[in-house]
Amino acid sequence: MTATTFTLADLAERFGLAIHGDPRTRIDGVATLASAGPTQLGFLANPKYARQLAASRAGALVVTPAVAAGLERPALATDNPAAAFARIAALFERRPPAPAGIDASAVVDPGAQVDASASIGPLCTVAAGARIGAGAILGPQCSVGPDCVVGEGSHLVARVTLVQRVVLGRRVLVHPGAVIGADGFGLAIDRGAWLKVPQLGGVRIGDDCEIGANTTIDRGALDDTVLEEDVRLDNQVQIAHNVHIGAHTAMAGCAAVAGSTRIGRWCLVGGAAGIAGHLELCDRVTILAMSMVSHSIREPGEYASGIPAQDSRLWRRNTARLRKLDQLVRRLGRDDKDEDQ
Amino acid sequence: MTATTFTLADLAERFGLAIHGDPRTRIDGVATLASAGPTQLGFLANPKYARQLAASRAGALVVTPAVAAGLERPALATDNPAAAFARIAALFERRPPAPAGIDASAVVDPGAQVDASASIGPLCTVAAGARIGAGAILGPQCSVGPDCVVGEGSHLVARVTLVQRVVLGRRVLVHPGAVIGADGFGLAIDRGAWLKVPQLGGVRIGDDCEIGANTTIDRGALDDTVLEEDVRLDNQVQIAHNVHIGAHTAMAGCAAVAGSTRIGRWCLVGGAAGIAGHLELCDRVTILAMSMVSHSIREPGEYASGIPAQDSRLWRRNTARLRKLDQLVRRLGRDDKDEDQ
Amino acid sequence: MTATTFTLADLAERFGLAIHGDPRTRIDGVATLASAGPTQLGFLANPKYARQLAASRAGALVVTPAVAAGLERPALATDNPAAAFARIAALFERRPPAPAGIDASAVVDPGAQVDASASIGPLCTVAAGARIGAGAILGPQCSVGPDCVVGEGSHLVARVTLVQRVVLGRRVLVHPGAVIGADGFGLAIDRGAWLKVPQLGGVRIGDDCEIGANTTIDRGALDDTVLEEDVRLDNQVQIAHNVHIGAHTAMAGCAAVAGSTRIGRWCLVGGAAGIAGHLELCDRVTILAMSMVSHSIREPGEYASGIPAQDSRLWRRNTARLRKLDQLVRRLGRDDKDEDQ
């Protein structure tokens, strides 16, 4: 297999970067500073790690102009090294082949519409009323249910389930095990038992969203659950029915949002954070990992309630006090009239 | 496609509701108060939202008798509007067709028993020794392992896995990605490495349970893991081996229960709450979201340990103090002999 | 079906155990002390439960020599009853048949290498460039992607997805729904939107690892995500890209580790605990359930930050105080100059 190779001149022209050093320098891969070899390209986005440059064997680097000026080895300079490196790395990505057409082992209902340029992989199922757009790819074992739409250029990597009434926009990327459009969790109490509240809504996912492995996004009870464009969800995220997530919001692994909550644009939700139901979060709210949001947030900013672990014996003593904190403060209050000032 | 239509008189008779206004009012769908149009039915269960009624364009409403008395538009009245609305909404549910019989692409072992009225969808696998009851539905890509039983009228929506020795009662509904009957997490240390403890038990799930998407319920180590009837689990819930959950208990998304814990009837477990192993929770215990239960609970009531997020700078200062809270209290104690009173 | 039966003499010889009582005692199964009948074997590992012995109807027991000395019924004695019992229990395990060869319904790319002794179950897919080793078992509906390796004797129980560049060692056991080798969550901001950072690395899993149901392990961004040998992950664990987990470390259900963190050997991570990214944990660190680790840990020991639930009214009062704890301490400080000592 012949490796893909580019000169710095190739890369500089393609991505609009400035060249430092020999433009003929050849690059056949990308790597971390620590593991890059002399024909590989490394990058430095965070000046905090600048001391790693000296030890790196990388043949060339992607850096800011200021860093490039001080380098003795070849480099590509840009104000946004992380983005430039991401674009260059994509040149070296090997994607599994996805030939247009329907694999002989797939089960596609005659009532489904599949664009001739779409690729339906082995052992997929596509139900009546589903539509698969131009250039869309369904990897192995995906299941697209009734009335679901997979937009142009979208990619279900493998074993993705779109249950019912799910509409994916264009260029949506969904990782294995994700379940989109399962029933929301709706229950009423009736005659001493639970009565299921039918879930009749759908899920709408905007262009350029990415949905992580084993993430679940439920269909709405009556209206739809909505992700606007460019929303990015990591693995094992749970989005309940009728949630609305604004454009460009990103949520790290294991985060969860309860029903009917509305999250703004450009929010960042840390790993395993939980957001209660029926709340509103404005744009540009950051929730740190493992925090619990139980009230609406009206001001952009960073919010937290996670507690860093400490030695467990010490922690047990502290939690014992915490469980009596109100009592402690009240007692202090008896002695100290300043308390409520 | 002709829409389903009902008059208020139809619905009142079918579900035992009182009619206010014109009984010939025609309804062709259900919707939220905010989005309902003049041929749709809305509902108001919580009087807190009564002011939304005026702005709603809904053609008719399901409300309590007291609310109905003050309305100028047609309504159906009942003491339990949420349950009545759920029953009416079910009339408008469109379910994917599930013809009796085994899809040609399914792989059913000759040693499995499948009732003639059951529906086995495309690309399912059913192993030797499995039994699929009357009227049961397996959607696409489900896998039913050895010695598993799917009771009468149960429904595996899609891509559900019953691993081994799993017995589902009647009318159990399981959402995609759920894994029931995988090995519990049992380990012994032996000669400087882990030794797997064989998991030989099964899982028994009672009638009318509902299991959410990507939820996992492990088989018991020796005895069975048990869900009594009408237990309702949301998505991404984790139930470890030998857990026993009482009838009518409901658990929200991402909740987790560790091994051998016994939970009572009519308990409510909030999202992402965690319950440690080898505990007992009595009937009618409510655990709020993101709480940690590390001791048995003997009294019905509501329990919590989740902390609401606040501004992160302020929170960091508070956690820094929390980590020294015991020390603080001890210091106060030196000055204040009342502390232990 | 004839039951498997062993005498105590058989078991003692096979596993190097001491016999107390009649060596001809016949055993046809294993069970808990509470449910064992007179032809079944029970065990007692934890002396704390010794009082359960009297009530048990077990025909024989696996216990320590000290406990055996006081027993009137037959027993097998060893210093490690839990391990001996696990080995004996494995004799009674019924595994689904896994005949060598490729099931007719599986879709195996001609460019894949499958050892003749491997078993490829119904409706599996195996991509070009994948290799399945001697004696490996793929249960129903597994998907093995490009450039993935399933080592000798490894077992994918059912519906496991190995996405891309995943290498499993020998005797690795993976439970249903697990997704190994999906893209890590890598994003750069560019021109007012997210830009995906290509994920080019793989996942390497050492010999004798066990991976739970619906657990996710992402591929590395540039280098690999690594689990050394004998790592044990329970269900719904999330391992982000470029994490490195040392040999023999075990993580309970719903634990999560963010990107590039390095965890030592023989660590124990409790259920739903979260470990932030870019940290180092040394060997033999125990993290209790639901704790958050946000700093590196250099000393072996036990760490925690989970809070036990209490009555919710009381808890609400305590959290209200906690949110003002820094302010309280500062106020106290004005009156008490000892504070910072």
Quick check: do B6-91 and B101-303 share a fold?
A: no
Q: Which of A161, A186, A318 sits opposite B159 (nearest CB)?
A: A161
Say which residue, A36 or C46, is predicted with more confidence: A36
DSSP code for B249: -
For residue range C209-238, what is the model confidence (pLDDT) as tens digits?
999 999 999 999 999 999 999 999 999 999
- Residues B166-186, mean pLDDT to the nearest whole number: 98
- pLDDT tens-digit readout, B6-50: 999 999 999 999 999 999 999 999 999 999 999 999 999 887 888
**Residues forming a β-bridge with B244:** B226, B262
Q: Give dist(CA B198, CA B184) in Å, integer.
A: 9
Q: Which residues of chain A have pLDDT under 70?
A: 1-3, 334-341
Q: Hey, what are A82's tokens? A: 């992380």
Calculate helix-pair angle for B8-15, B81-91, nearest 10 degrees.
120
Question: Considering only A143-152, B92-101, C282-291, which range has the smallest mean pLDDT?
Answer: B92-101
CA A319 vs CA A185, A325, C274: distances in Å:
34, 9, 19
B175 → closest Cβ in A183, A187, A214: A183
Instruction: Report the CATH fold assignment for B101-303.
Output: UDP N-Acetylglucosamine Acyltransferase; domain 1 (2.160.10)
B341 confidence band (pLDDT: 50, 70, 90): very low
Neighbours of C229 (CB within 10 A): 18
> Could you give the percent of chain B with pLDDT greater than 90?
90
- Is residue B154 predicted with pLDDT exceeding 80? yes
Answer yes or no: do B187 and C324 touch at CB < 8 A.
Answer: no
The domain locations on chain A are 6-91, 101-303, 313-341
pLDDT of B193 higher than 90: yes
At B55-77, the pLDDT tens digits run: 999 999 999 999 999 899 999 99
B192-B197-B198 Cα angle (round to 5): 145
Nearest to B132 by CA among B147, B146, B117, B113: B113
Cβ within 8 Å, pair C253-B254: no
Q: Which residues partner with C206 through β-bridges?
A: none
Reduced to 3 states (helix: H, G, I; strand: E, B; else coil), residue A51 is: coil
From B175, B241, B244, B248, the catalytic residue: B241
DSSP C145-170: -TT-EE-TT-EE-SS-EE-SSEEE-T
Distance of residue C85 Cα from the nearest chain B Cα, in angstroms: 8
pLDDT for C318: 97
pLDDT of residue B334: 57
| pLDDT tier at C339, thresholds 50, 70, 90 | very low
pTM for the whole thing?
0.96
- With cut-offs at 50, 70 and 90, classify the pLDDT of residue C50: confident
All chains having 3 or more CB pairs closer than 8 angstroms to chain B: A, C
* B340 confidence band (pLDDT: 50, 70, 90): very low
Residue A334, helix vs strand vs coil:
helix
- Segment B171-175 shows an average pLDDT of 98
- Reference A330, options C181, C146, B217, B339; nearest CA is B339
- What mean pLDDT comes out for the span C62-85? 94
Mean pLDDT, all residues of chain B: 95
CB pairs under 8 A between A and C: 221
Among all residues of chain B, which has the CA nearest to that of A184? Answer: B234
Query: What is the C-alpha R_g of chain C?
Result: 26
Separation of alpha carbons C121 and A281, rounded Å? 47
DSSP A138-203: E-TT-EE-TT-EE-TT-EE-SS-EE-SSEEE-TT-EE-TT-EEEEPP--EEEETTEEEEPP----E
Does residue B128 surpass a pLDDT of 70? yes
Residue with tokens 């839990």: C82
- Evaluated on CA atoms A199, A202, A205, A210, the torsion sign reads positive
Mutate to test the interface with C, among A15, A286, A293, A325 (most CBs of C within 10 A): A325
**C-alpha span between B325 and B327 (Å, rounded):** 5
CA dihedral C97, C100, C106, C109 (to 10 degrees): 150
C60 closest CA partner among C15, C86, C29, C96: C29
Asked if A157 and A140 touch (Cβ cutoff 8 Å), the reply is no
| Residue position matching structure tokens 């080793």 | C133
Residue B120 three-state SS: strand
The answer to whether A140 and C162 are in contact (CB under 8 A) is: no
Average pLDDT over residues C164-169: 98
Q: What angle do CA A314, A319, A324 make, to 5 degrees?
A: 135
> Residue B53 belongs to what H/E stretch?
helix B52-55
* CATH H-level superfamily of B6-91: MurE/MurF, N-terminal domain (3.40.1390.10)
The pLDDT-based confidence of C12 (bands split at 50, 70, 90) is very high
- Pick the residue from chain A with its C-alpha nearest to C147: A96
Mean per-residue pLDDT, C130-149: 98
Return the SS3 of C210: strand
Distance of CA A334 to the CA centre of its chain: 51
Segment B65-94 mean pLDDT? 94
List Cβ neighbours of B190 (8 Å cut-off, separation of 6 or more).
C80, C83, C86
Do residue C315 and residue B293 have CB atoms under 8 angstroms apart?
A: no
Query: In this structure, are residues B239 and B217 in contact, taking their beta carbons and an 8 Å threshold?
Result: yes
Is the CB of B175 less than 8 angstroms away from the CB of A182? yes
Q: Is B70 exposed, middle or buried (0-12, 13-18, 19+ CB in 10 A)?
A: exposed
Angle at B251 between CA B247 and CA B257, to 5 degrees: 90
CA–CA separation, A105 and B293 (whole Å)? 48
The tokens of C71 are what?
A: 């027993």
Using DSSP bridges, classify how beta strands B75-77 and B18-20 pair: parallel, antiparallel or unpaired.
Answer: antiparallel
Tell me the Cα Rg of chain A.
26
Contacts of B74 (CB under 8 A, 6+ apart): B8, B19, B20, B21, B22, B25, B59, B60, B61
Angle at B337 between CA B335 and CA B338, to 5 degrees: 120
The ipTM, to two decimals, is 0.95
Which is nearest to B26 in space by CA: B44, B45, B43, B11? B11
User: CB pairs under 8 A, 24+ apart, for B164-168?
Assistant: B164/B202, B164/B219, B164/C96, B165/B201, B165/B202, B165/B203, B165/B219, B165/B224, B166/B202, B166/B203, B166/B205, B166/B219, B167/B202, B167/B203, B167/B204, B167/B205, B168/B205, B168/B209
Nearest Cα residue to B240 out of B181, B174, B162:
B181
**Which subunits have 3 or more CB–CB pairs within 8 Å of chain C?**
A, B
Whether the CB-CB separation of B63 and B47 falls below 8 Å is answered with no
What is each CA distance from A334 to A179, A189, B242, in whole angstroms? 56, 46, 50
Matching residue, tokens 């929506």: B157
Kindly identify which residue of chain B lies nearest to residue A145, measuring between CA atoms: B96
pLDDT tens-digit map of B221-251: 999 999 999 999 999 999 999 999 999 999 9
C306 vs B287, B292, B335: nearest CB: B292
Q: Is A65 helix (H, G, I), strand (E, B) or coil?
A: helix
Nearest-Cα residue of chain B relative to residue A219: B213
DSSP 3-state of A296: coil
| Residue B14 CA from chain centroid, whole number | 27
> How far apart, in Å, are the Cα atoms of C116 and each of B190, C100, C138?
33, 7, 13
Give the DSSP letter string of B166-227. Answer: EEE-TT-EE-TT-EEEEPP--EEEETTEEEEPP----EEE-TT-EE-TT-EEEPPSSS-EEE
Residue type, A118: A
> What is the model's pLDDT at position A339?
42
User: Of all helices (H) and strands (E), which one includes residue C317?
Assistant: helix C312-322
Q: Which of C317, C288, C329, C313 has the alpha carbon at shortest distance from A322? A: C317
- The CA distance from A274 to A261, in Å, is 11
Residues of C labelled as active-site residues: 241
| B107-132 per-residue burial string, b: 16 or more CB within 10 A, e: under 16 | bbbeebebeeebbbbbbbbbbebbbb
pLDDT of A3: 65
Which two structure tokens, joined as six digits, stand for C158? 């059912």
Chain A nearest C-alpha distance from C205 (Å): 18
